[in-house]
Amino acid sequence: MRRRAADFRRPVRRRVPDVLWWALFSVVVLLFIYVLSKGNQVQSRPALSKRMYKHDRIMEGLNITEEMLNPNSVTRQLNDQISLAKAFVVIAKESNNLQFAWELSAQIRNSKILLSKAATRRVPLTSMESEQAIRDMALMLYQAQQLHYDSATMIMRLKAKIQTLEEQSNSVSEKSSKYGQIAAEEVPKSLYCLGVRLTTEWFRNLNLQKKLMEKRQMEMKLKDNDLYHFCVFSDNIIATSVAVNSTAINSKNPEMVVFHLVTDEINYAAMKAWFAMNDFRGVTVEVQKFEDFSWLNASYVPVLKQLQDSEIQNYYFSGNSDDGKTPIKFRNPKYLSMLNHLRFYIPEVFPALKKVVFLDDDVVVQKDLSPLFSIDLNGNVNGAVETCMETFHRYHKYLNYSHPLIREHFDPDACGWAFGMNVFDLVEWRKRNVTGIYHYWQEKNVDRTLWKLGTLPPGLLTFYGLTEPLDSFWHVLGFGYTTVDAQLVEKGAVLHFNGNSKPWLKIAIEKYKPMWEKYVDYSHPLLQKCNFH
């Protein structure tokens, strides 16, 4: 076989020694390990930095230095002493130990001066510098402990003081309630004067009696069910006048408004004289006295029967039956007044009427009330504004639910509602014998175990399931005892001064008094003579 020429032969490859390859491989591995270690260092630094930053922020926020974190720091010891000493200063003053309080305060100032100087020179306090201050403060704190200024003793003393203050507060509150009730029940001299002068005028001035006789020619209006009939039961002439006057002024058709007023025999002549000598924009006014109602007797009316009971008389009029345990407001004799209970006998008082709007005498009317007479009561007897926005005004607040009769028949969370502006369907009232229901509950409460106060609780029982809720703007309450929302004041049709602060008394809430006073003619000769202002 022939061999190729030398020029055409492949060059021979030279093999790299194995030692060199192993060296190169080792270098690469070392480089890789180096890169990995660098990466871990880079990643770990932010976490460490973050922890250190957070630690610095905490120290900055609490105004703490590294020196104060030292367990052997005299600065921290002084600060702790100062904090404790400040508490003892307050306690010493409370205990009327003013000398010790002054000495403790002086030592606090000395310690603060030391800390201030150290902070100014930016060098921590040494034990030698602070030794005397720490010893002096420790001595003062020990003295405080010897004076029984320790926390346990002070807690007991403070509890005793709180209990004393609560007893004093309860006593003041009880006296305030008592005197407020007495003030609310008083007859102002000006009102008493007006009653006397009007009574005198009635019997002296025959023209007034003739005027009333002329008005009686409009007797047909008193029974006309196409008109707007209102009733007020009151012995307060000026309050009744405001209720009538404000209704007349804000009525779109005052000639269609009829007011049926019922008073007692004492104020009968004065009430007739006042409404005979004053005109209320053509409003028809009838005045009666409840003593003329032949059906109103003890055999028919439970309240009159109760008045004949000696125990009831003692409870309401002497207040000695339970050593004064019952609050004075529950003993107010006005709650036995027939003028207060006549609201449960409206069909008997006005036998010819089908629908009536009942008004309390402590109201002001600032809207036309004629739309009330076209409201559909959906077969119910009583149209009233509910007051159950809060739990305070639900049935359980007014009634004794520990009594089985109450517990079995009435939902404790049922909505309460307000007397003072009520629309009564007298046709439904007679059909359902509502007055009989009222009699039943009054007889059951002869021992005052179902309820204690007023006519609202028996009203809630009597009209339970027979009350139609009205829009809240028709009757706004609270003007005699609290602050009322300004929007409600503006929108309200009837503003009720329920509470002790009646607008004709000196204890009236000044903010709301002008709303009532603008319906009083202070230029009237009789009001001026009786010093009404």
Q: Which residue has the higher pLDDT, 19 or 143?
A: 143
Q: Which residue has the higher pLDDT, 384 or 304?
A: 384
Q: Which residue has the higher pLDDT, 27 or 498?
A: 498
Which pairs from 138-144 meet CB under 8 Å and 24+ separation?
138/81, 140/85, 140/88, 140/103, 140/104, 140/107, 141/81, 141/84, 141/85, 141/88, 143/100, 144/85, 144/88, 144/91, 144/92, 144/100, 144/104
Residues across the chain: 533
Span 502-531, mean pLDDT?
Answer: 93
Q: pLDDT per residue over 477-498, tens digit each? A: 999 988 899 999 999 999 999 9
| Distance between CA atoms of residues 530 and 286, nearest Å | 25
HSE on the CB side for 189, CA within 13 Å? Answer: 5
Confidence of residue 59 (pLDDT cuts 50, 70, 90): very low
- Do the beta carbons of residue 363 and residue 497 sit within 8 Å? yes
3 state DSSP class of 286: strand
343 closest CA partner among 365, 359, 363, 364: 359
pLDDT > 70: what percent of the chain? 74
What pLDDT, on the 0 to 100 scale, is given for residue 83? 86
> Whole-structure pTM over 0.85, yes or no?
no
Considering the chain, what is the average pLDDT of its residues?
82
Q: Which of 161-165, 182-186, 255-259 has the highest mean pLDDT?
A: 255-259
356 closest CA partner among 458, 466, 224: 224
| Distance between CA atoms of residues 33 and 474, nearest Å | 88
What pLDDT, on the 0 to 100 scale, is given for residue 65? 58
What pLDDT, on the 0 to 100 scale, is given for residue 20? 63
Would you report the helix, strand and coil content of the chain in percent, each value rounded to 5?
Answer: 60, 10, 30
What pLDDT, on the 0 to 100 scale, is given for residue 339? 92
CB-based burial of residue 276 (10 Å sphere; 0-12 exposed, 13-18 middle, 19+ buried)?
buried
Q: pLDDT per residue over 390-401, tens digit each? A: 556 899 999 999
Q: Which residue has the higher pLDDT, 183 or 264?
A: 264
515 closest CA partner among 307, 362, 341: 362
What pLDDT, on the 0 to 100 scale, is given for residue 401? 94
Confidence of residue 386 (pLDDT cuts 50, 70, 90): very high
423 closest CA partner among 393, 385, 460: 385
Q: What angle do CA 529, 531, 533 make, to 5 degrees?
A: 130
| Distance between CA atoms of residues 246 and 266, nearest Å | 25
Encoding tokens for residue 106?
Answer: 């002086």
Q: Which of 43-52, 63-72, 92-101, 483-492 has the highest mean pLDDT?
A: 483-492
What pLDDT, on the 0 to 100 scale, is given for residue 189? 87
HSE on the CB side for 460, CA within 13 Å? Answer: 28
Picking from 312-316, 327-331, 357-361, 403-407, which range would have the lowest pLDDT averaged per residue? 327-331
What pLDDT, on the 0 to 100 scale, is given for residue 168? 72
Q: Is the pLDDT of residue 465 over 50?
A: yes
pLDDT > 90: what percent of the chain? 49
Which pairs from 519-523 meet CB under 8 Å and 24+ separation?
519/241, 519/242, 519/245, 519/246, 519/249, 519/364, 520/238, 520/241, 520/242
- Can you give the three-state secondary structure of 118-165, one letter per residue? HHHHCCCCCHHHHHHHHHHHHHHHHHHHHCCCCHHHHHHHHHHHHHHH
Picking from 416-420, 458-462, 491-495, 499-503, which range would have the lowest pLDDT averaged per residue? 499-503
Q: Which of 307-311, 452-456, 459-463 has the highest mean pLDDT?
A: 459-463
Provide the Cα torsion 467, 254, 363, 524; round to 10°.
-160
User: Which residues are CB-neighbours of 483 under 8 A, at least 6 positions away?
Assistant: 511
What pLDDT, on the 0 to 100 scale, is given for residue 105? 92
Span 47-65, mean pLDDT?
Answer: 50
